[in-house]
Chain A
Amino acid sequence: MKDGGLENKKELENSKKQSKSSKFRSKSDDFALAIAKVAVAQVCESVGFQSFQHSALETLSDVTARYIYTLGKTTNFNANLAGRLESNVFDVIQGLEELESGLGFAGASDINRCLAKSGFVRDIVHFVGDAADVRFAYDVPRFPVVKERKGMGSFQEKGEEPHGEHIPSWLPAFPDPEAYATESTVGNGTTSGSDGVKTGLVRIERKIEWPLLNFQQQFARNGNVGDSSCVGGDSGKAWEVSNSNPYLAAPLHFGEKEVDVSPVVLPTKLSNEVASRDPVSENRFVGNHVSVLETFAPAIEGIKSGMCEYSSKQKNVLYNQRPTVHFKIGIGKKSLNTAPDFISKNKDLQKIAYWFENDNEKDDRKRRAENFMKESMECSQEPGQL
């Protein structure tokens, strides 16, 4: 079967386009396709085949599924054309005739034919009479199974009173206030790591809502008290997690050192400087996935440019038992998008830089600290602009 390359390509593209636009085969279809394969295999066996090639069986079962689908579509169309919602036996017969029109059937040329005695129906009658009654091999359960979704209770259901008159009682209730307090603190890295993007998104939304001042207050509170009290448990968990997978490790707080190894002086010093200046923006970063921040990039862009280098550096502090080393950070505004790759690349860079540690690094850090200062001043001047 040698075909010209061009023909192949065109048809491939066409079929791809068709399959994409009609979305006929999706992942959820696997079960149905598997059943179709079994059914088709049984039919082929009754015809006389003894074995199949896998690809041939898959192709034929796919064609069968499309046949049923096309038949249903045509039938529905015919019913709608006649002004009905529910399909009729005549719609089905017309659809069948349309599908079989390529091969032709008895009486096709007769314009005034009656559908009931269509040649096709006769063929089917003969077929049913001749064919052996072969049942399907397995018991097929009813599918697809519709999952019962237990939604969040409304105010009415929970028996709570909505917080204001403007909130109707049939809306879902707010989560417990305790949930707010824990999520707004810094050290909740484990949950964010495990739950993934969704919780991070929710938290980011909340954070954007809160006014800056409020945030600052909370943070100041947490900064003083938090390390010991609320984060104690988390840091323990974080330690375990960080042992297994550095990407899931909890982020550090200000002033908290990573591990018992190698006292890293400069980053903490830097962190102290920055903490005093712009705790707000720091809060946004710590404990979040980088990818989450990407989605909110326009909102946080202004702060990002100042803080991105710091955050990536802080993540470096996490990645354990390595002296955090100075690395060449690229263009500030871009770095957040590439941070995950960035960090893995930097492990190599770290090794190399470690060997060549010199005073130039410290100068760079000081310079960067000054940059942070400048930009955080700008940020704090415009609190309303998020």
Chain B
Amino acid sequence: MSHNPQSSDGKHDDDSTLSDFLASLMDYTPTIPDELVEQYLAKSGFQCPDVRLIRLVAVATQKFVAEVASDALQHCKARQDAVVKDKRDKQQRDKRLILTMDDLSKSLREYGVNVKHQEYFADSPSTGIDPASREE
């Protein structure tokens, strides 16, 4: 898509692409409900009677969450592969993929969100001594 030649035509194409896309948004129902998005947008001062914009925001948010989740999934799988390499004889591959704070904070860090989680809460003198038990 070159911008300078046939600029007016190019613009029309882009605009039409955009408007077509917005129209297609109405067919697609994002997983994040409209009411939730409206609530937070209203809280922030966003004013627009157009439903398509709200759908756009919902889709963008869904995309964001999906990206973060997929990054976390990759971290989780990488860790599982590492574990399996050590205990190859047991073939103890944990089939359940669990979203842990560990993976989440790693993937969120790339998006600029710093999430630091307490490893343990020391409510007794013996807490945290055993390094093997790292999961909650």
Contact = CB atoms under 8 A, between A and B. Distances in A.
Given A1-B102, A48-B73, A131 B66 contact: yes
Contacts of B1: 117
B85 interface: no
Interface string B61-80: 11111101110110010000
Given A47-B70, A71-B57, A121 B41 contact: no
A377 interface: no
Contact of A64 (B42, B65, B101, B110): B65
Interface residues of B, number: 69
Contact of B62 (A48, A69, A112, A131): A131
Main secondary structure of the interface of A (DSSP, over half): helix
Contacts of B40: 32, 65, 68-69, 72
A141 B21 CA distance: 27
Interface in B2-38: 3, 11, 14-15, 17-18, 21-22, 24-25, 28-29, 31-33, 35-37
B29 A72 contact: no
B136 A53 contact: yes
B12 to A, nearest CB: 10
B35 to A, nearest CB: 5
Main secondary structure of the interface of B (DSSP, over half): helix
B104 A86 contact: no
A143 B39 contact: yes
B18 A43 contact: no
B68 A60 contact: yes
B101 A46 contact: no
Interface in A22-61: 32, 35-36, 39-40, 42-44, 46-53, 55-57, 59-60
B45 to A, nearest CB: 4
Interface of B: 1, 3, 11, 14-15, 17-18, 21-22, 24-25, 28-29, 31-33, 35-37, 39-49, 52-53, 56-57, 59-66, 68-70, 72-73, 76, 96-105, 108, 110-117, 119, 136
Given A56-B104, A103-B111, 13 more contacts: A1-B105, A1-B117, A1-B119, A36-B36, A43-B69, A49-B97, A49-B98, A51-B98, A55-B117, A68-B57, A71-B61, A117-B14, A124-B21
Interface of A: 1-3, 8, 11, 32, 35-36, 39-40, 42-44, 46-53, 55-57, 59-60, 63-65, 67-73, 75-76, 79, 85-89, 92, 96, 99, 102-103, 112-114, 116-117, 121, 123-125, 127-128, 131, 133-136, 140-144
